[in-house]
A and B are shown apart, each in its own frame.
Chain A
Amino acid sequence: AQTVTQSQPEMSVQEAETVTLSCTYDTSENNYYLFWYKQPPSRQMILVIRQEAYKQQNATENRFSVNFQKAAKSFSLKISDSQLGDTAMYFCAFMLISQGAQKLVFGQGTRLTINP
């Protein structure tokens, strides 16, 4: 079974700082996707960034980037120039592609607070 571990339950940084959220996962499979989702107080789950396991290049989306280390099964999220609107729960998620079936396995989340 696949598992996802987020070792930082809470983090807090000042506005404009850079912050890195950690995520490790466990799988024996080779073909999968990794995601970071953001859940603000509204509880809406918002896709932040996506990484295909077969791609060596790390994904980036504006101020968000990942450091994907496949051999180490590590998938960290870096937020540059953090903004107050980045305050949210962040979930790392793993999706195995198996015969077309999709299922996300989530970590326990990291509560990120951006302070003014």
Chain B
Amino acid sequence: KAGVTQTPRYLIKTRGQQVTLSCSPISGHRSVSWYQQTPGQGLQFLFEYFSETQRNKGNFPGRFSGRQFSNSRSEMNVSTLELGDSALYLCASGVYWTGEETQYFGPGTRLLVL
């Protein structure tokens, strides 16, 4: 099976702009989670989607939003970018209610805000 894919891999934006990141989960996985990784804060949970519904949300401002489509692909959007949004954004896909709950990560999108 193909792994989790994320596009784009690299992005450079300026303050005030918005950005959309995309994630395609492993085939058959219906859960998609997003994490932000920075040197200062480490890995932090953003949100999780399952069957197009947001099941869980981390402690991030409303500028961070996401959605999931019927094919389980997910997008996250960050509006009004700030310098502090520069980070590696990781997407993970997983399965539910199987006793084998695990999250598998994509390669990440590196976002630089200037």
Binding site for B on A (CB under 8 A): 33, 35, 37, 42-47, 50, 52, 91, 95, 97, 100-109
Q: Which 3 A-B pairs have the closest CB atoms?
A: A45-B105, A106-B43, A101-B56
Whether the pair A91, B43 counts as a contact (CB closer than 8 A) is yes
Taking the closest CB of chain B, its distance from the CB of A24, in whole angstroms, is: 16
- What residues of chain B lie closer than 8 Å to A33, measured between beta carbons? 101-102
- What residues of chain A lie closer than 8 Å to B48, measured between beta carbons? 101-103
Residue of B nearest to A105 (CB): B45
- Given contacts A45-B90, A108-B42, A109-B42, are A103 and B33 in contact (CB under 8 A)? yes
- What residues of chain B lie closer than 8 Å to A37, measured between beta carbons? 105
Instruction: Given contacts A45-B105, A102-B56, list 11 more A-B pairs with CB under 8 A.
Output: A37-B105, A43-B107, A45-B90, A45-B108, A47-B104, A100-B96, A102-B31, A103-B48, A104-B33, A104-B103, A106-B42
Taking the closest CB of chain B, its distance from the CB of A92, in whole angstroms, is: 11
- What is the bound-complex CA distance between A46 and B92, given in angstroms? 11
Whether the pair B42, A102 counts as a contact (CB closer than 8 A) is no
B94 interface residue, CB < 8 Å from A?
Answer: yes
- What residues of chain B lie closer than 8 Å to A50, measured between beta carbons? 102
Residue of B nearest to A98 (CB): B56
Whether the pair B33, A102 counts as a contact (CB closer than 8 A) is yes
- What is the bound-complex CA distance between A33 and B100, given in angstroms? 9
For chain B residues 81-114, which have a beta carbon within 8 Å of chain A? 88, 90, 92, 94, 96-97, 99, 101-105, 107-108, 110
Whether the pair A47, B56 counts as a contact (CB closer than 8 A) is no
Taking the closest CB of chain B, its distance from the CB of A76, in whole angstroms, is: 19
B63 interface residue, CB < 8 Å from A?
Answer: no
Taking the closest CB of chain A, its distance from the CB of B78, in whole angstroms, is: 19
